[in-house]
Amino acid sequence: MMNEVIRQRLLELNRQFYAVHAADFAATRQGPQPGWHRIIAHFPSVCQVLDLGCGNGRLAVFLDRQLQQVDYVGVDAEARLLDEARRQTAGLRHTRVTFLQLDLTTPDWDEAVGPGRFDVVVALAVLHHLPGRDARTAFVAAAARCRRPGGVLILSTWRFSHVPRLRRKIVPWETVGLTAAAVEPGDYLLRWQETGLRYVHECDESEMTDLAAAAGLQVCEHFRADGKEGDLGLYFVLL
């Protein structure tokens, strides 16, 4: 189990990153990811969707173009990202949107969202920002509780350590006063542009399968997609 002081330190590192860089980061995340064209098969044409870590709301825009009718709830902790999400989704035709500012690292966050409500729950590029294996396990279980009976949970996480251009972004833990011994295997400190630093955990297929099993879920599908290399996103569809 990760030391709670270290876990909170890493969470604060990412909070500071998004507080400072939210607008610039959102500007680099426009349009759908290639993997979304594969997961869309798991969305009913009329459905209720929960988007955990919704960022600038681009998934809602994608769903509006693909589905007949969507009741969409987007959740994020960063107010400026939610402001951008509201702006981007203002003109949607087939989607009713609601945004909640909520920290997904707090206990019982799923109670605030409403368990058992959604046909599809997605958490895209969220898990790799949650420090501590126990915290990731708890998050997946909480996300699963938000589904209706028979609903789907779709997770994606970032895979980058096999790519030289991305490995060059790794900086030593000593940069923020920590050591490699203080964190877990697969934990990295990455530089973004010139001044941004953020915590990232690289989940592999084995860990994702274990997280699903701990939540009592079955793996329906998993695949890699996205990025210049076409394999930077690891997707899991869980039932």
d(CA 71, CA 204): 32
Please give the model's pTM, rounded to 2 decimal places. Answer: 0.96
Beta carbons within 8 Å of 60's beta carbon, 6+ residues apart: 51, 54, 70, 72, 74, 85, 88, 89, 92, 95, 97
Which residues face 70 on adjacent strands?
A: 47, 95
Helix spans in the chain (H): 4-27, 36-39, 58-66, 79-88, 109-113, 133-145, 164-167, 205-214
Phi, psi for 234 (deg, rounded to 5): -105, 115
| Cβ(61)–Cβ(89) below 8 Å | yes
Phi, psi for 40 (deg, rounded to 5): -60, -25
pLDDT in tens, the chain (239 residues): 899 999 999 999 999 998 888 667 666 667 899 999 999 999 999 999 999 999 999 999 999 999 999 999 999 999 989 999 999 999 999 999 999 999 999 999 999 999 999 999 999 999 999 999 999 999 999 999 999 999 999 999 999 999 999 999 999 999 999 999 999 999 999 999 888 999 999 999 999 999 999 999 999 999 999 999 999 999 999 99
Q: State the fold for domain 4-159+204-238.
A: Rossmann fold (3.40.50)
Domain ranges, ordered by start, for the chain: 4-159+204-238
Please give the sequence-ordered ranges of beta strands (E in DSSP) within 82-218, or none if there are none: 95-101, 118-124, 147-158, 170-171, 187-192, 196-201
Task: Report the DSSP pairing between strands 196-201 and 187-192.
Answer: antiparallel
